[in-house]
Amino acid sequence: MALAVTASIALAACTNTPSTGTSPSPGVSASASPAAGTFTRGQGGELKILYWQAPTILNTHQATGTKDYDASRLIQEPLASWGVDGKPAANGLAKEIPTVANGGVSSDFTTVTWKLIDGLKWSDGTAVTADDVVFTSKYMADEATADPNSDFMTGVKSVVATNPTTVTVTYSAPTANPYQFGTGGGNEILQKAQFEKCLGAKASECPENLKTIGTGPYKLTEFKSGDVVTYEINTNYRDAKKPFFKTVQFKGGGDALSAARAVFQTGDVDYGWNLQVEAPVLKSLIQGSTKGDYLGKASSNVERVNVNFANPDPALGDQRSEPTTKHPFFNGPDGLIVRQALAMATDRATIGDQLYGNGLTGTSTCNQLLGNDDWTSKNTASMSVCKFDVAAANKLLDDNGWAKGSDGVRAKGGIKLSVLFATTVNTLRQKEQDILKANWEAIGFKVELRSISAGVFFSNAADGANRFYYDLSMFTNGSTPDITGYMAGWTTKQIAQKSNNWNQNNYHRYSNPAYDAIVEQMRTTTDQTKLNQLGIQANDILIKDVVVIPLVNRFQVASGKSKTLQGTNLNPWDSEMWNIADWYKTP
């Protein structure tokens, strides 16, 4: 305890985080000053990080997956991070988080002024200026450059350098999320001098992507794409006391189970990422471990069953699953009743307990919008569709004339309750499918299961989740701190269909004017409390209407660290490496 107290005092004295000045103002993360130890730069030896997916590129603006974002984050930094509580935290290039209170955000919520830390340098010794930030915004917005993070520039009218250390971001409309550009993973600032020649069609093949210069605590020593990254201390890092480790090795490849063994059993590595192995196996590895600790943190990620409102019948040919068609029983006259029965027969508690270890890698949930208590609905728990009740589900179908045939399958007017239920190939998911199949067959559904390789399932192929040529699907995603963008994924505008090459998020083909109106209201709301309430309303509609059947809140962070590694601060909203400058080791 004494150590912790001295640690926090030492931190307050040396850190750049605005823990004293701005933290009381609303909207700024209280987690801005993470717990850190007293140490000096380079005091430690080598830090070994293991990801079972190998980083292939070291520039988040050409990244292809989490592994690239995380491996780059040791080098590249955004203006600010998303804190543990989903609010911006000043551990990036910005001196402080702009708020209305400190004048950084205009009162009409259209302009944000970011001030860079004074004397900030790139690892090559040159000065970081507002021009670099402006350049980064251009890089992100340029269509030919095809930055995967370009959505952060949507609605941004301009990014202007008002002086060498000040950047003004103007949004085309008032926004509840003035931090959209500049905050969190995907907004890492590029060095203009390095990437100037990498704009446009040649951006992806630009060799600079593999030797990015940054401002982070570490700089690149050697990169073997698809294998390993080694780093050394960035001697120009702004905090003279950090980082602790002399070198870092970021190894990729292999599988989650042996990565878990390396953390918990052999202690070969200090940090192992995303150890998503089956809960009973993980539990046994953790319990006996003298080497490692498990790090699990709830997030906004929801594993859920998606209902198709359109008709996936192959006989329809071109019109298959187009929004103009209607699903024979999920969207017929009894649509809501059939969907409700399906939801009531879903045993999410068993899935959460047996497969996710009830709080180990996930917990069962009946909400679609999660991640922060402020926007998590408390209304759904009492809804009948969230209660596992086979008898009630059977009764509902009986009462509405869906009678069981000789094969045990319910039908009405010649329409049989026969569903095709697809998800990705994954041991855990196939077990979930088995449980759900048993659940739904108990109330007279006929369930055919299909598992599709993830690369195909998440593509535009005929078997892709967005084409939805089946009745039910299952996968996980979650909201960012910008909940409006997430909830917009169920609006009529975003219905995935042939005409937009299925490139929209509303896979369900769900269309509800009342829902659309709520999201429209969210877009124009700048008051966070009001926004949260609207988010809850939108969530409640999705659940009540059984557009989705949420199963489990899957943990974003499910990593492991050696018992001696300290300072990690689990963050479901940003890269797990967001505060790597604060990591250290006890002997």
Partner 1 sequence: MGRYIIRRLLIAIPTLLVISFVVYAILALAPGDPLSQFATNPNVPPEVRERIREQLGLNQPWHIRYVKWLLALVKGDFGYSFMSHLPVINLLIERLPNTLAVVGVAYVLGVALAVPIGMISAVKRYSIFDHLATTFAFIGFSVPTFFTGLLLIILFSINLHWFPFIYDSTLKVRDFASLIDQMKQSIMPIIVLALFDTATLARYIRAEMLEHLPLDYVRTARGKGIAERLVVVRHVLRNSLIPVVTLVALGVPAVFAGAIVTEQIFRVPGIGELLIRSINDSDTPVVAAIVFLFAVLVVLFNLIADVLYAVLDPRIRYA
CA distance 527 to 521: 11
Give, as ranges, the residues between 381 and 420 that touch partner 1 (CB under 8 A).
Answer: none
Give the interface segment with partner 1, choosing from 123-131, 156-164, 218-226, 443-451 (CB under 8 A): 218-226
Q: Does 143 bind partner 1 (CB under 8 A)?
A: yes
Name which of residues 50 to 79 contact partner 1 (CB under 8 A): 50, 54, 56-57, 62, 64-66
Q: Which of 358, 456, 516, 533 binds partner 1 (CB under 8 A)?
A: 456
Shortest CB 398 distance to partner 1, Å: 38
CA separation for the pair 312, 315 (Å, rounded): 9
Give, as ranges, the residues between 473 and 502 that touch partner 1 (CB under 8 A): 475-480, 485-486, 489, 496, 501-502
Residues 87, 199 contacting (CB under 8 angstroms): no
Q: Where are the beta strands (DSSP E) in 322-466?
A: 362-364, 403-404, 410-412, 415-416, 418-424, 446-452
CB atoms within 10 A of CB 511: 16
Does residue 461 belong to the site contacting partner 1 (CB under 8 A)? yes
The minimum distance between CB 270 and partner 1, in angstroms, equals 12
Work out the end-to-end distance of the chain between its first and last CA atoms, rounded to an integer number of angstroms.
Answer: 17
Please compute Rg for the chain using Cα positions: 25
Contact map string, positions 265 to 304, toward partner 1, x by CB under 8 A: xx-xx-----------------------------------
In the complex, least distance from residue 336 CB atom to partner 1, rounded to whole angstroms: 28
- Return the residue of 102, 110, 451, 459 that touches partner 1, per CB under 8 A: 459
Q: Which is nearer to partner 1, 83 or 464 (CB)?
A: 464
Q: Is 344 in the site for partner 1 (CB under 8 A)?
A: no
Question: Three-state DSSP class for 529?
Answer: helix
Establish if 119 lies at the interface with partner 1 (CB under 8 A). Answer: no
> Cβ of residue 341: shortest distance to partner 1, in angstroms?
28
Q: Please name which of 297, 322, 299, 295 lies closest in space to residue 311, comparing C-alpha atoms.
A: 322
- Check: CB of residue 293 under 8 Å from CB of residue 563: yes
Rounded to the nearest whole angstrom, what is the least distance from the CB of residue 486 to partner 1 in the complex? 6
148-177 binders of partner 1 (CB under 8 A): 148-152
Angle at 308 between CA 443 and CA 423, to 5 degrees: 80
Closest separation in Å from C-beta 530 to partner 1: 22
What's the rounded Cα separation, in Å, for the pair 271 and 51?
A: 9
User: Is the peptide bond preceding residue 174 cis, with omega within 30 degrees of 0?
Assistant: no
Q: Which of 8, 110, 258, 379 binds partner 1 (CB under 8 A)?
A: 258
**CB 209 → partner 1: shortest distance, Å?**
6
Q: Which is nearer to partner 1, 98 or 485 (CB)?
A: 485
Q: Which stretch binds partner 1 (CB under 8 A): 158-166, 221-229, 408-416, 528-536?
A: 221-229
> Is residue 465 within the footprint of partner 1 (CB under 8 A)?
yes
* Angstrom distance (rounded) from CA 440 to CA 403: 15
What Cα–Cα distance (Å) separates residue 238 from each residue in 16, 211, 363? 8, 20, 40
